[in-house]
Structure 1
Amino acid sequence: MVKKMTIPGMGEMPDPEAIFESWWPIIIGVTIGVLYAFRQYMRGARCLSDTKLDGKVAIVTGAGSGIGKYTAKDLASRGAKVYLACHTAEQAEEVVKSIKETHKKADIVGLVCDLADFKSIEDFASSFRKKEETLDLLVHNAGIMMCPLALTEDKFESQFQVNYLGKLVCFALTNLALSRKEPGIAVNCALPGIVNTKIYRHLPFQKNAFLAISFFPILCMLMKAVEDGAQTALYCALTEHAGKVSGRIFKECAEFEIDESVKDVELQEKLFTQSLKWIEKKEFGKES
């Protein structure tokens, strides 16, 4: 039975001191506090830059959803003209509309760019070059993971083409180059962490409705939200590192040590030469 106390003019009220006669309120309060603190920790570091991008031109691949969409919206909110590289025309139109609803003055253009199709990338690059003479920022966000084994129209395994070759072609056709090949161009890698996006749609538990619902609370607790996953890429693009350091890896808005094997120049040259053969380019940054 709940103890009560009488307050003049208010009648009987629950006695607040009675709360501390039970451990349950304390246990519940501490549990909620610990879970909240853990969730905030899992969200990771934040990019706190207030940098403006007025007059700058940016491309964000994979802008149709998830991290790419959030990144594009953030860059546009800072004044940049952002080209959204989306998988389909319908997706591009939908994202443009969505961003315009919250940022009416956003200067954004939706274009189709399917990284699994070299012809689509070429068409995207051609459309971009007709509209712009320069590109200040390219955020390669698009990617796939653990998808069913399949070959693209270009006869490459789909995951290999989307996650590597397609990005290389996009670099080449927008007349960019890796910094070691083209002085003045800064290229860095941003690790987003484990983010709750559609990239995990091919995992076994995602294909079973019961398992997907069962795992949902766990995923929400352990995985980053889309906004959190975009922070390190934004950090690379907006902070004092932007355009000043290159060939680095960043994680949780801080530089991450690169494995020594990655610094092997001879290995880099071999990969670069082979990559040019794969994408049928004689020289990087040229049409053929």
Structure 2
Amino acid sequence: MAAMAMATTCHFKVWPEYSTARSSSDSKMLTQRFPRAFGGSLCAQLRRAKVETCPCGKIFQRQSAFSNVRVSGAADDRSNVSQCSAGKRNSKWYHKLIQYNMYLPIIYYRSCAKQAICVPQSFAGCALVLYTFEALRRHLASRTFGHLAAFAVRKMSLSRRILRSPLFLSSCGAAMVLGGALYYKESISCCYKVNSKLDNVVAVVTGATNGIGLATSRQLAEAGARVIMASRNMDKCKEQRRKIVLETRNKNVVCRLCDLASLESIQSFAKRIIQDKEKVNLLINNAGIMHVPPKPTADGFEPHLGVNFLGPHLLTVLLLEQLKTSGPSRIVNMIDISCKRGHVNFADLNATKNRPQPQCVYDQSQLARAVCTRELARQLEGTDVVVNDLFPGYTETGIGGQVKSNFVRAVTWPAKKIGLQAPEKAANAVLLLAVSPEFANVSGKTFRYDGSAKTLKETEVNDEAEDKRVQLRLWLTADYWTKAREALSKVHSSSTPAEK
């Protein structure tokens, strides 16, 4: 037994990054690099052993209790097994021990009245192996499982401290809130898909270059409809049209110039449709602006009133004849639920006497659109044309992008990503109202998508929207300001049909 103890040989393998220590201070730094949970005692043992280096920097020699310990800087050099082992028969145990202890923690034990250190190859950074059968037997039988159990207990204690830490608990709470918000947003979104082909449908979509308008145009094209994309930016419209054609394989998508801030541009757009004898089955009044500078339009209107209300009003009036002859047809006016807070100020409808807050004029323009929807529905009774308002839900669109404050953008960005639905989801609600047979005979209503019921639900606006005197007065005012009668005569005047 004593002879076996004297013949005990240790082979200490150091990882390459730790194999270039030149002095005791370097070796001390090397030992301090080991994690405390794995190598705290090993560090002390190495410091007590006065680890030194030879000039080559690859061979360490321990000058203490183990005079026959050989230390190699090679990462996986097993060629030294026969040189370092006590005998040829012990070589296989070296391989087995390396294989068994590849990822075990650092373990200490006593063997043959000599203290030996077993440091299996792991993320501690080294491996120390004994080549005697007795050491291997004692290591596996009497020491391994106990030290592994102690190691597991220490790690469990550390895990408990981590799980109870305020940082971990707050992180879990934030993750749960974020996941719940995303799940809620997905659950309340509309998932309607067009079941039938719309090959014989012609749809006019304003604001078709981004947001809900772009998503609606894409889904209509996927269903086979002819889509007329109305936009004030023709370069952007042509680029989006190219993408839609490539994605849907529907070449029946066209771009037309239509700036809702210009009455002349609206007349030219409608005139071309009439001259081309295009039928119109769907009119999606989607374009709108929000919180823009109070710079009047080319016709002298307050921008929110001109783009959100007067422009769509004139376009609808000019295309009414096409809608009637192409029936059954539908008009969908996109509005904001903020119209409930709005008030139609006939005394200063164009905001020329004073300068109200942008949100006030925006809310008024949305309410005006809802008011005239009810008046138009009354005028269209007995025809094959229905008109309704739709609030598809809070959606991430380009509207409101004119806000220049970086602070406001930074604060609202997380809320937009979590609380706002994708434009594609909002477009599903638009198509639900525009093509679903469920709403074929419903007119003059305001709808919003109900996520719990998975359908559109009628919603009340306010008392002004239901007042017939307000409806008629606002309609006549819009006709007068946009010169709708004169525009009708111009667009229906005989001229050479425009080239497609």
TM class by shorter chain equals 0.7 to 0.9
Alpha-carbon contact 2:262-2:298 (below 8 Å) kept: yes
Alpha-carbon contact 2:267-2:487 (below 8 Å) kept: no
CA distance in 2, matches of 1:36, 1:88: 38
| Cα distance, 1:10–1:262 mapped onto 2, change above 3 Å | farther
| Cα distance, 1:30–1:58 mapped onto 2, change above 3 Å | same
Alpha-carbon contact 2:192-2:431 (below 8 Å) kept: no
| Cα distance, 1:36–1:180 mapped onto 2, change above 3 Å | same
TM-score normalised to structure 1 length: 0.84
Higher normalized helix content (fraction of residues): 2
Aligned position for 2:377 = 179
1:12 Cα offset (Å):
5.7
1:217 Cα offset (Å):
2.4
Alpha-carbon contact 1:49-1:239 (below 8 Å) kept: no
**Amino acid in structure 1 at the alignment position of 2:378:** R
1:105 Cα offset (Å):
2.5
| Cα distance, 1:255–1:285 mapped onto 2, change above 3 Å | farther
| 2:470 counterpart of 1:267 | yes
Aligned position for 1:84 = 229
CA offsets, 1:112-131, max 9 Å, x none?
Answer: 10000011111111222233
Aligned position for 1:256 = 458
Of 157, 163, 166, the residue aligned with 1:23 is 163
Number of residue equivalences = 281
| 2:430 counterpart of 1:228 | no
| Cα distance, 1:236–1:10 mapped onto 2, change above 3 Å | farther
- Structure 2: which 5+ residue stretches go unaligned? 1-35, 39-99, 106-150, 325-375, 450-454, 492-500
Greater RCO (CA < 8 Å, at least 6 residues apart): 1
**Amino acid in structure 2 at the alignment position of 1:139:** I
Of 157, 182, 188, the residue aligned with 2:302 is 157
Identity %: 28
CA offsets, 1:88-107, max 9 Å, x none?
Answer: 22122111112123222252
| Cα distance, 1:9–1:73 mapped onto 2, change above 3 Å | farther
Larger displacement relative to structure 2 (260-269 or 150-159)? 260-269
| Cα distance, 1:267–1:210 mapped onto 2, change above 3 Å | closer
| Cα distance, 1:156–1:80 mapped onto 2, change above 3 Å | same
CA distance in 2, matches of 1:132, 1:265: 35
Of 421, 433, 437, the residue aligned with 1:240 is 437
- Structure 1: which 5+ residue stretches go unaligned? none
Of 217, 232, 247, the residue aligned with 1:102 is 247
CA distance in 2, matches of 1:188, 1:2: 69
Alignment partner of 1:198: what SS? coil
Aligned position for 1:282 = 485
Aligned position for 2:274 = 129
Aligned position for 1:168 = 313
Alpha-carbon contact 1:281-1:287 (below 8 Å) kept: no
**Amino acid in structure 2 at the alignment position of 1:271:** L
Aligned position for 1:143 = 288
| Cα distance, 1:10–1:91 mapped onto 2, change above 3 Å | same
TM-score normalised to structure 2 length: 0.50
1:248 Cα offset (Å):
0.9
1:214 Cα offset (Å):
5.0
CA RMSD of aligned residues (A): 3.1
Aligned position for 2:216 = 71
